[in-house]
Structure 1
Amino acid sequence: MAGVQDQLEIKFRLSDGSDIGPKSFPAATSVSTLKESILAQWPKDKENGPRTVKDVKLISAGKILENNRTVGECRSPICDVPTTMHVVVQPPSSEKEKKMTSEPKQNKCVCVIL
């Protein structure tokens, strides 16, 4: 019975509302390993997919999960199975900087004189 409790069923919700999984993971699985699994299972037809583990953020119960934590440590005490984690893809900072420098800067300040 202890072996069953050491496994967690996790579903990954993508930003477009589609899912990867559910799939069972041991409670000792690291968040970094979950991200690698997401990369391997990422739908090929989706645009702007992550290229590396660093591009992926996992959110569970409103918290961004740290790579060095285990699934068991991140588990919500309220519910056991299945767990849904939200997946956010962040482009590398160099792409963000390129995007910001290529767009003309606009002053968005508004002054109101009374």
Structure 2
Amino acid sequence: MQGMNAQAADAPKESIALATDDAMTDLTAGFQNQVWCIRKMDGLTVLSEEQIPLSDASEKDIMLLLEERAKSVLTPREIHDAPQLFKAKDMTGKGNRLIYSAGQNPYYVASLWRSDELNGHPPT
């Protein structure tokens, strides 16, 4: 009788372990499918948004993309005289998410997300 009770007590632990393993597998898979979310902003208003798989663009690629987009609204003189108006900045801070920004109203923000965090929806 004690053996049966011990087996019954162990069953939920095995189920919990399997569920935990499945969750870790899903989480790990999410990191393999990361996505850059790039937003064009005017103040707090999102003007446009696109997503680019990490496999298609490195951090350097994204920073260059942000700079090119920020330059697109500047005059040649502004580009020459004030590079701070378009240079990409690392805005990650103490957080765990990579975030880069370039430009000033409109400005561009790129952040890196796991695809499972987005589930087809834009980040908030």
TM-score by length of 2: 0.35
| Structure having the higher Rg | 2
Higher RCO (C-alpha under 8 Å, 6+ residues apart): 1
